[in-house]
Each structure stands twice: as C-alpha cells, then as structure tokens.
C-alpha cells in the first residue's frame, strides 16, 4: 500500500500548535527545527514529521511520538520499522509518502517561472521535444523534473545520479540503469506538480490525503 499525506501552511504555526507538535519528536530533531530562521522552514520541518507519524499510525503503528530517523549511506532517511518513507516540500507545501512494500521516493515542486533552456542538459531529446511542444511547457517541465527527482530519491543515491541518466517513459514509468520504476502523479493542487516513485513491480493504488495541521491539533494525534 502506498500513502501520500500532505499539508499546506500560509503563516507561522500558532505557538501552542508548534509546542504540541514538537513534543512528538526527539530532542535532537526539536533542536534542529527550532534553529531554522524562516518560519516556512520551521513549519515544513515539523509538519513533515507529524505527517510521518500520522502515516505510521495508518499502517497500524500505535505511536505517541516519532521514532528516531536514521540516515543511510547516501543520506536517505529511514526508520527501524516495516514502512519506507520519503519527504518533499516546496514553498508552503510539505508531503510525506509511505510504503510498506518497498522503497519509495517523492518530489513536489511549486510551479514558478524558470528558463527551461538552462536545464536542457538534464533531459533527453525526446523529453525536451515533449516539453517544448506541450500546451503548457512550464508545467510539462516540472512534470518531467519531479518524475526524475522522485526516482533518484527512491533509488537512495540522490544527487549522485545525474537526472539525464533517467529515461522517462510514456506509460508513467522510468528506467534507470536497467531498473524500472512506476510513477504516480500527485493530484494535489494546480499550483504544484509532484510524483511518487516505487519499484515497477509494486504498482498499487495510491491514496492521497490532505491533512490540516495548521489550526487545531489533528484528531488522531491528540
């Protein structure tokens, strides 16, 4: 089963909520988050971890606080449970994708104006053709970009994999070094584009839920 939980914040979290959510994480994590300078980074940092805790509860782990987050060889985060997860944030949105059947990667991007030609080297000629001929080239650029980012995050080697080494296929998949991945497009918000990547043999339905964490304590965490 693949679950993606996301939340959006447009202003600093109320202090009572911030304190409440910080009580769910370790002291080292709390220290890291509270040292951030921008309120957007503080919000995204704590909300990502609350979403992870909520996701673990949906897989049957009755937890009152978030287990320690560890990091693998290439700094991919993991926890000592039978659930894989990955986190992404952009602007005011944060998303946590989870799977109990194998590795997973997620990338979300807010659509902002960019000079697409500056990134030509990251795409194949076929991908560039699709982007440039699209009715909405900017959105298509971000669709390809988030697919590639989700794959390298699922693989675990992150930026050690050049994006132009990933070939995005027409049937919602991609291939990297003979490994095939399946990609889910996230139906979230017209201002954002995002994808979740899982091994191709694990193509199950994706459940996407919005979780409001910005006004009152979320019920399942109370």
Distance CA 208, CA 96 (A): 10
Tell me the sheet residues that pair with 218: none
Q: Could you count the other beta carbons within 10 Å of the beta carbon of residue 57?
A: 14
Enumerate helices (H) and strands (E) in the chain, giving the number of each. 5, 11
CATH number for the domain spanning 58: value is 3.90.470.20
Residue 218 CB partners (closer than 8 Å, separation 6+) = 50, 54, 211, 212
pLDDT higher than 70, residue 36: yes
Q: What is the mean pLDDT of residues 78-99?
A: 95
Tell me the sheet residues that pair with 5: 96, 209
Q: In what order do the strands lie in the sheet with 93-99?
A: 84-90, 93-99, 2-8, 206-210
Does any domain span residue 92? Answer: yes
Sign of CA dihedral 163, 87, 99, 204: negative
Residue 222 CB partners (closer than 8 Å, separation 6+) = none
Does any domain span residue 215? Answer: no
Quickly state the pLDDT bin for 64 (edges 50, 70, 90): confident
Model pLDDT for residues 11-27, shown as the tens digit of each residue? 999 999 999 999 999 99
Does any domain span residue 220? Answer: no
Q: At what angle do helices 39-58 and 27-34 cross, to 10 degrees?
A: 150
pTM of the model: 0.91
Quickly state the pLDDT bin for 201 (edges 50, 70, 90): confident
Structural domains counted in the chain = 1
Domain containing 188: what range?
Answer: 2-208
pLDDT higher than 80, residue 162: no
Two structure tokens written together for 110:
């807010």
Does any domain span residue 134? Answer: yes
- The answer to whether 105 touches 150, Cβ cutoff 8 Å, is yes
Does any domain span residue 216? Answer: no
């Amino acid at each position: 089963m693949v679950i993606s939980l996301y939340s959006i914040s447009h202003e600093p979290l109320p202090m009572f909520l911030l304190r409440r959510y910080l009580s769910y994480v370790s002291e080292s994590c709390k220290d890291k988050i509270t040292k951030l300078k921008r309120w957007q980074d503080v919000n995204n940092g704590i909300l990502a971890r609350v979403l992870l805790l909520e996701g673990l509860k949906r897989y049957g782990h009755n937890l009152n606080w978030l287990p320690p987050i560890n990091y693998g060889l290439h700094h991919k985060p993991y926890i000592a449970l039978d659930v894989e997860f990955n986190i992404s944030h952009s602007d005011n949105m944060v998303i946590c994708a989870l799977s109990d059947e194998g590795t997973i990667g997620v990338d979300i991007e807010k659509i902002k104006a960019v000079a697409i030609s500056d990134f030509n080297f990251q795409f194949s000629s076929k991908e560039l053709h699709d982007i440039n001929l699209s009715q909405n080239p900017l959105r298509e650029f971000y669709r390809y970009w988030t697919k590639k980012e989700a794959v390298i995050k699922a693989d675990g080697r992150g930026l050690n994999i050049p994006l132009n080494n990933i070939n995005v296929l027409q049937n919602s998949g991609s291939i990297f070094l003979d490994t095939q991945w399946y990609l889910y497009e996230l139906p979230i918000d017209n201002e954002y584009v995002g994808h979740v990547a899982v091994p191709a043999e694990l193509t199950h339905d994706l459940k996407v839920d919005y979780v409001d964490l910005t006004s009152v304590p979320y019920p399942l965490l109370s």
